[in-house]
Amino acid sequence: MITKYKPKSSFARSGGQAKAGKAVRPYRAKSEIKREEPIAGQVKRPAEIKAGAKDSLNKLRVMTLGGLEEVGRNMTLIEYNKEIIVIDMGLQFPEEDMPGIDYIIPNISYLEGKEDWIKGVVITHGHMDHIGGIPHIMGKIGNPPMFMGRLTAGLVRKRAEEFNKCPKLNIAEVDETSRLQLGKNFKIEFLRVNHSIPDCFAIIIHTPVGTLIHTGDFKIDYSPVNDKPADLNRIAQIGGEGILMLLADSTDSTHPGYQVSESYIGDEIGRLFDKIQGRIIIGTFASQLSRVQKMFDLAAKYGRRIYLQGRTMNDNVEIAHQIGYLRFNPKILIDSDNELKRVPDNKLIILGTGAQGESNAFLMRVVNGEHRSIHLKEGDTVIFSSSIIPGNERAIQNLMDMIVRQGAKVINYEMMDVHAGGHAKQEDLKLMMRLLKPQYFMPIEGNHFMLRAHADLAEQVGIPKTNVFVADNGQVVEFTSLQGKIVGRLTQEKVPSEYVMVDGLGVGDVSNIVLRDRRVMAEDGMIVIIATIDSRTGEPIGNPDIISRGFVYMKENKELIEKTRMKVKKIVKDHDPRTPADDDYIKNKIRNDIGQFLFSQTKRRPMVLPVVIKV
């Protein structure tokens, strides 16, 4: 259950788990708790926690199932004494060498059989790399209670509606004043932080061993759009109380300086609007709701109307508007294609998805001429109001080429400040570490080189190198309280963290073998060989049929196809006529021999699929 009360100057501890409809015994402020003298290099801990520890050998374990080797698939487990809390359940978009895969979700094998250990799921914010795996995972872990901000709850509920197998989620909405008691060992606080979407929280986890802080995605923005700035005073106050370990966002740890404010980006785009006379087409992330709010503000200021494009964009705007996170006059929206035709070009903004060059998104359908009502023309200006996600460079370059060829003008973040990232850069990251002063530090949410860069920053602000844990997915970080000392270490133990790939309705049924076969077919194609044989004698009947897909064009390679056909016929004939032919033997022989033959002739390795028909 969740208990809310007026915020105090510092976190105070509960006497027990809050129950609905019953008064909660007031927390006693930490300042009132007698403290021990801290051991050199160790986190200060309240004496009453030490006294209440049943076993000095109890271990606090931290396991990150995704987000330590990639940007996405974020999911972290905090475990103590057979109790677990889960932070985030995200998805990761497929890499270029994963043909046909929709997305990837965390591997939850470690939680199998531990459903009753899970005391709650806490979600930091509403981006897909933090909520995308929820419909696939919640039913498999016993559907524990979930806690998240109001906007995040709306987005999670909307996504869950799209999945028939997702159970009805037990969601409680929280804010920065909320306090949770999850199980016997976890007391949770929420710290509001800024990002590119409202309702983002860092999670403060008080355990019998010490306090952990998980930042989620964050940046330091002193003038956010439709959101409150992070409370730096409170962050410093929490740091003064003693933090065992900080787990912090590393996505922009390789970029020096400070992150640009969202308000500044809105002002820059506003200066563009002064000069543009034709249609303005803006591509951005549907989840970039702070940016979307700025577009509505600018539309009202310059007398333009907005036509939303993309299902996710429409859904997110509707949810955010209903709960008050987007503020605009509904009359500013264009409802139909017929109304669109009546709006002059200099009074129109088209706001949609596809700035990453996604094949089915709004912008790509426009440039391909597949959109039912919007086509590019002279005088259009297309603004890419998002940075490039690594791996999408070529798709975005091709998209820009096609836009310019059709007479429109392109503006992106490299030409002007039309995008502000949602992640803290190096100086912001160092500020967070200086304010919180953790004893141990664990960079999360990024590729390995990003984690290493963040680890270097931690050393620069004075955190000992031995206390900085750069882990791989699934690697266990362990803390032990022994005779008043807290010792942390990065163990060699690993829990399962392999990819679980989602392909259509299939979850986890695409193995590495299937993916390898897809890559082979994508690179060298396939050839199907159909041999018909007499079931009694094993003799071939007629010539084998050959079908080539993605390997060679058969009409222009008649000699190669004919040689292949004769070689197959010889393979089928080469057996003892006194015994029936063995189907498996013939298939394997065709697969191996024809594969080697085709490689010798073409230096390509197509997938060979033999089919044997007995008549």
The answer to whether 245 and 442 have CB atoms below 8 angstroms apart is yes
Catalytic residue flag (residue 417): no
User: Beta 545-549 vs 526-533: how paired, if at all?
Assistant: antiparallel
Give the E-state strand segments of 215-367 in sequence order: 243-249, 280-283, 305-309, 348-352
Residue showing tokens 């800024």: 194
What are the residue ranges of helices labelled H in 241-378? 262-275, 289-301, 311-322, 337-342, 362-367
Catalytic residue flag (residue 227): no
Phi first, then psi: what are they for 603, rounded to 5°?
Answer: 60, 30
Residue showing tokens 């003038």: 223
Q: How far apart are CA 159 and CA 89, in angstroms?
A: 13
Active-site entry in 249, 252, 428, 503: 249
Find all residues with CB under 8 Å of 206, minimum gap 6, and list them: 11, 13, 186, 187, 188, 189
Q: Which of 286, 289, 294 is nearest to 263 (CA)?
A: 294
Q: Which amino acid is at 145?
A: P
C-alpha distance across the termini of the chain, in Å: 69
Cα distances (Å, whole numbers) of residue 359 to 367, 368, 396, 407, 522: 11, 10, 11, 21, 18
Q: How far apart are CA 450 and CA 456, in angstroms?
A: 10
Adjacency order of strands within the sheet including 118-122: 171-173, 146-148, 118-122, 83-87, 75-80, 59-66, 475-482, 485-494
What share of residues in the chain are helix, strand, coil (percent, to 5)?
30, 25, 45
User: Beta 83-87 vs 75-80: how paired, if at all?
Assistant: antiparallel
Q: Which of 543, 551, 555, 546 is nearest to 607 (CA)?
A: 551
Q: Which of 137, 13, 14 is nearest to 87 (CA)?
A: 137
Q: Which residues pair with 192 in a beta bridge?
A: 201
Active-site entry in 127, 255, 419, 423: 423
Q: Which residues pair with 527 in a beta bridge?
A: 548, 608
Q: Which residues are catalytic?
A: 249, 423
